[in-house]
Structure 1
Amino acid sequence: MRLFDFSLFLKRFPIKEAKEELRQISEVKDADYEAFLNSKKTEIVAYHLRNNPFYKNKVTNGFSDWESLPILTKQDFQIPLRERLSKGFSDKNIYTNKTSGSSGNPIRFAKDKFSHAITWAYHMERFGWYGIDFNSSLQARYYGIPLDSVENKTVRLKDFLAKRYRFSINDLSEKALDGMLNIYKQRPFEYINGYTSSIVLFAKYLKGKNIILKNVCPTLKVCIVTSEMLFEDDKKLLENQLGVPIVNEYGCSEAGVIAFTNPQGEWQVDSKTLFVEILDQADKPLPLGEKGRIVITSLHNKAHTFIRYEIGDYGALSEGSTFKKPILKTLVGRTNDFAILPSGKKAAGMTFYVITKKIMEESGNIQEFKVVQTEIDTFEINYVSLEELTEEKKTVILKTLEQFLEPGLTFKFQRKVQLDRSESGKLKQFVSLVEN
C-alpha cells in the first residue's frame, strides 16, 4: 500500500494532480523555458493583485514589469495570518506552518492544498533520483522532536506514515551513539535525512570505531543533509564513514526544497515550482556567478503571497545556469550571520567559523563547536571534545583569528558536555548576541 501518498490524499492534498503538473513542466523544452517562467510569474502576480488585498497594498506603483515589484521580507509578514490570505481561503482549505525563527523574525504562513501537494511531489521527485520512494523506503531521521506529549505523538504518527525512524538528537553521548549503531544493524534503512551537524557527529563516532555504516546496514543508499551548512571536509568524512553518496539539500519552510544535489554532483535549483533571483543591495539582478541576496517567488501558492520574497540568505548561481536548470554555485549563509567589530568592520560569522573549525579539528579530538559573539569585542568558542584544548592550540587559533578580524578582541574557550541547540534540534554554528 502506498501509505504516504494515501496520507496526503486523506488530508485532501491532490498529490496525483501535483505529480502530473510536474510531469508536464518537465516536458517544456529548454528553448521555451524562459517564456514558460515569465508566463507563470505573470499569472501568479495577476492572481494576487486580484485576490490578495495584503499584496495589492504592497504594489503601490502597479505592475509594469517584474523589477517594479517590491521585495518582501519577513518583517512585511508580521501581521496576523488571516490578514495576509487571499480571498476564498481560510483555515478550512489551507496548510499552515511557521518558520524556525533562526532569522529572528518567525512567521506563520499558509499554502493552498495544491501548492503544498506540488511541494511534496517535487520533494519525492528529487529523492527519486537516488532510488528513494517515500511510500516504501525506510528513513533514518535526524531531526528534533517536540517534548510536549500531544505534539510528540503527532510527530511519531507522521513518522510512521512516512516510513521514518527518528533518532533523538538531544542526546548524542557515546552511549546514545552506541545504541544508534545497534539500530542500524537491525533495520533495513535506505536513506539518512536530517541536520548536518548531528549526522557529522555520528560519522566522527564511526571513524573512531573504524566502522563504515554501509557495511553494517547494506540496504543504505544515500544520505541527505539539510538545514545547516555542509563543509567540504565534513562531506568527505560522511562519504568515507557512511559509504554512500552525500546529498546537500537547501530549502526553507515557506518554499520547500530550493536546491538539491543532482546525480551529476550539481546543486540544482528548483525551477519548476520556484523562480529564484540573486539581487544586489539596490534590488537589481546580479550576473551569474556573483554573490547576492537570495529572493524567491512561489509560482503556485495562491493562498499566501511569496512573490519576490527575501529569505535571508546570500548565495550565487553558477555561470552555467539556464532558465530550466539553474545551479547554485555557493551558499554563503544568512544575512544576519555577521559579526560587527569595534572598528565597524563587518565579518561573515561563517567564514571565521570555518577558520576556527580547520585549526580545532587538526587536533583530532574536537567533536563539534559553535562561536558566539557575546559583546562587540568578545567571542565565546564553545566546544565538545574528548580532551581539553591545549594552550598551544588556543594560541594558534587566537593569532589566526586576530589576523583575519582585527587586534584587541577577546576569545573565551569553554569546553561543554553538549552544545545548546534550538528547540527543533538545529545547531547554529555562529550566533551574534550583539545588535547590528
Structure 2
Amino acid sequence: MKISLFTQILQRKGFPVNQASILLKQQQIQEHNYAAFLEKKKAEIVRYHSKENANYKHFIGNTNISEWNNIPIMTKKDFQKPLSLRLSNGYSKNNVYINKTSGSSGDPFFFAKDKFCHALTWANIIDKFGANGIDFNKSFQARFYGIPLDFKGNLKERIKDFFSNRYRFSVFDLSDAYLEKVLKKFSVKKFDYINGYTSSIVQFAKYLNKKNIVLKDVCPTLKCCIVTSEMLFEEDKILLETQFGVCVINEYGASELDLIAFQNPNGEWQVNTETLFVEIVDEKGNVLPNGEEGRIVITSLYNKAHPFIRYDIGDMGILDEKSTAKNTFLKKLTGRTNDIAVLPSGKKAAGLTFYYITKSIIEDTGNVKEFVIKQTKIDNFEIEYVSERELNASQVIEIEKAMTNYLEKGLKIYFHRKEKLTRSPSGKLKQFTSLVKQ
C-alpha cells in the first residue's frame, strides 16, 4: 500500500496521477484513427508554444508551423539558458516540476514539466511496468541508482524510496566487498524486481558469475530485471539472464521527456506513442523511412510549461519497418554508454556516479555548456568543459570535495576549459571515459 500513499502525496502536491491514468485509458484509439490523433496533438502543442512561449516563438521565427517537417529541430544547446527564460506564459518555478538532466551525453540543463505532464509520466510508468507483471501497489524493487550524499538530498530520496516500496543499493561502490553485502540483502529481502543503471547491474551479475551463484536461487521472489539509463549489449543481457535467472527488460527513457521505449512481453521494444511523437531524421533533419538509421527526434505532446518539440535527444536509432502510428517499435538504439571507474583502492564506481559529482557545475545560469570526464590514470581524472566563464575557485573546490566524498581520497583532478569538445562520429559526447585497463 506504500505506493498508494506515494500516489496520494503526488496528488496533494498537485500532480494529478489519477486523472492522467484516466486520460491514458481514454486514449485507447483504434489503429486506423491513430495517425489522425497524433497529427492533431502535434499541431496543438506546436501552436500552443508558438503563442504562449516567447523563447520558442523567437526560436521558430517566421517558420510556417503548419508544415511539420519545416519546424526546426531543437537540441540540448537551445536549453542552456536560465529556465525562467524558457517557461511558457502562466508558468513559473513555483507551479511546475523542475529537474535536471543527468548530463550523460555531456550537455546538461535544467528543464520543467507542467504538473499534469509529470503526472502522465508516472501514469505511463505504472502502465508499462504493469504490462510486465510489476504491480506498483505491491512489488518490492531492488534499486541500483545514484543518490545524493548530502543530508537533505539523501533523506529526501530515502523517504521517496520508502513510499515507493523500494530498497536502494549504491552505485558509487561496486567492489566485491560491497557486492557481497548486496547479495546478503537479496537473501533476506523478498525483492520482486531489479531496476537501475545498466552498468551497475552488469557488475553485480559479473560478481555472481565469479561466485557461480544464480540470484533467483537466493531470492526466489525475484520476477524480472529492468535496466535503464545506459546501453544494454546483447552479451550483457545474456549474462544478466543467466546469473539472475529471470527475464531482462530494456527501458529507454529521458528524464526531461518520459519513457521513450519499453520492452513489451513479446520482447519487442515498443515506443511510447501515448505521450510522445518519435521521428528518425538524417544529418540535415530530413525524416527517414522506417528501417533507416538516423538521429532520434522527439516531441512531448503534453508539456505546456516547456517546449520539447522536434527535440534531438542525442541518440541514434532505427524504427522497425513494421511500425505503425500507434504500434511503433525501436529496432536499434545507439545510445548512452558509460565506463566503470576503477580506483587505487580497488573500489569500482558506475560512470553515472560523475553526474552526482559534477552536478555542482550544472547551473541554471547555463554557464557550463558541455563537459566530459576522462580517467587517464588510476588516480588521475581530467574534466574538460566548454563554458562562457572559467570555473571559479569555489566551484573547483566543490568538485574536488565531491570526488573525495563519492569516490575516495587522494585522487588528482585536472580541469581544462576548451573551445569545443571532441565528439563521436554520431555527434555524441560520452560523459565518462576510462583509459585505465580494467
Conserved 8 A contact 1:139-1:193:
yes
**What is the match of residue 172 of structure 1?**
174
Match of 2:7 among 1, 5, 8: 5
Q: CA deviation at 1:420?
A: 6.4
1:148-192 C-alpha deviation (Å, 9 max, x unpaired): 111011111111111110011212222211111111111111110
Number of residue pairs aligned between Structure 1 and Structure 2: 362
Conserved 8 A contact 2:173-2:347:
no
Distance 1:16 1:417, change over 3 A: closer
Secondary structure of 2:253's aligned partner: strand
Conserved 8 A contact 1:225-1:247:
yes
Conserved 8 A contact 2:214-2:243:
yes
**What is the match of residue 62 of structure 1?**
64
Distance 1:429 1:195, change over 3 A: farther
Conserved 8 A contact 1:144-1:423:
no
Could you list the structure 1 runs, at least 4 aligned residues long, displaced by more than 6 angstroms after superposition. 428-433
**What is the match of residue 431 of structure 2?**
none
| 1:393-404 pair list within 5 angstroms | none
User: What is the aligned-residue RMSD (CA, Å)?
Assistant: 2.3
**What is the match of residue 249 of structure 2?**
247
Distance 1:420 1:156, change over 3 A: closer
Q: Which amino acid aligns with 2:56?
A: Y
| 1:28-427 pair list within 5 angstroms | 28-60=29-61, 61-333=63-335, 417-419=347-349, 421=351, 422-424=353-355
Q: Which amino acid aligns with 2:117?
A: S
Secondary structure of 2:273's aligned partner: coil
Structure 2 runs not aligned, ≥5 long:
358-371, 376-382, 385-420, 424-438
Distance 2:303 2:30 in 1: 24
Secondary structure of 2:10's aligned partner: helix
Q: Which amino acid aligns with 1:41?
A: K
Return the TM-score normalized by structure 1: 0.79
User: Percent identity at matched positions?
Assistant: 54
Return the TM-score normalized by structure 2: 0.78
Distance 1:171 1:75 in 2: 32
Distance 2:257 2:189 in 1: 32
Distance 1:424 1:7, change over 3 A: farther
**What is the match of residue 403 of structure 2?**
none
Distance 1:112 1:173 in 2: 40
**What is the match of residue 20 of structure 2?**
18
Higher relative contact order (CA 8 A, sep 6+): 2
Conserved 8 A contact 1:170-1:425:
no
Distance 1:311 1:243, change over 3 A: same
Distance 1:424 1:58 in 2: 29
Q: CA deviation at 1:425?
A: 7.0
Q: Which amino acid aligns with 1:423?
A: F
**What is the match of residue 435 of structure 1?**
422
Q: CA deviation at 1:135?
A: 2.7
Conserved 8 A contact 1:4-1:134:
no
**What is the match of residue 340 of structure 1?**
none
Q: Which moved more, 1:167-176 or 1:293-302?
A: 167-176
Q: Which amino acid aligns with 2:348?
A: Q
Secondary structure of 1:182's aligned partner: helix
Secondary structure of 1:97's aligned partner: strand
